[in-house]
Amino acid sequence: MVICFIGDSLVNGVHDPEARGWVGRLVSDIHGGDEMLLAAYNLGIRRDTSADILARWQDEVESRLFDDEPMRLVFSFGAADMRSVPGGESRLTMEEAVSNARALLTAANAKYPVLMIGPPPTADPAFTRRLTTLDQHYAAICDELVIPYLSIIADLQNSEIYLEELVNGDGVHPGAAGYAHIFRLVNAWPAWRFWFDSPVQVA
């Protein structure tokens, strides 16, 4: 099986002192529990918006295809879209961010099994409100496309450790404990577990 994790700096694991992020912890857990052959690629790029990801995802995935291995995609993005620029506006409008996500997920879902994970909160309440609205739009798109969607923003907002790491850091990226919390949420998600608890069919 090949899995591509596609997104922004929060997928990449920026500011994790253990250099694993939530993706590295997921992959480590899979390798630790099963003997299955897995090729996992972290395709998170710092500051990438949904427009950037829309432009690059297909080439990056196709360059990692094997004829005899099924491909799976996990997307997570949104923080870079809603981050403020000088003047107070976000880098992309809500309409642009939603349109990009719809186009990206529609195209990806037509070719591969896809999972989508929503954006986490930040230390800035206004920033987090924009992300909460975006999270709701993402959930609606995924429901329409029948793509499993995991919203994590509310759970992480209730985590003292996660919020503490944001405040003590750059306000957007957590530390090791915060990424470990995201890992636990994803790892317990039935849609994620289904890929490994059921027989793998080669496409």
**Domain layout of the chain by residue ranges:** 2-197
> Tell me, what DSSP letter sits at residue 118?
P
CATH fold group of domain 2-197: Rossmann fold (3.40.50)
DSSP 84: B
d(CA 78, CA 23): 17
Angle at 8 between CA 102 and CA 125, to 5 degrees: 85
pLDDT of residue 202 exceeding 70: no
Q: Which two tokens stand for residue 189?
A: 């998600």
Per-residue pLDDT of 78-133, as tens digits, reads 999 999 877 767 899 999 999 999 999 999 999 999 999 999 999 999 999 999 99
**pTM for the model:** 0.94
- Asked if residue 200 has pLDDT above 90, the reply is no
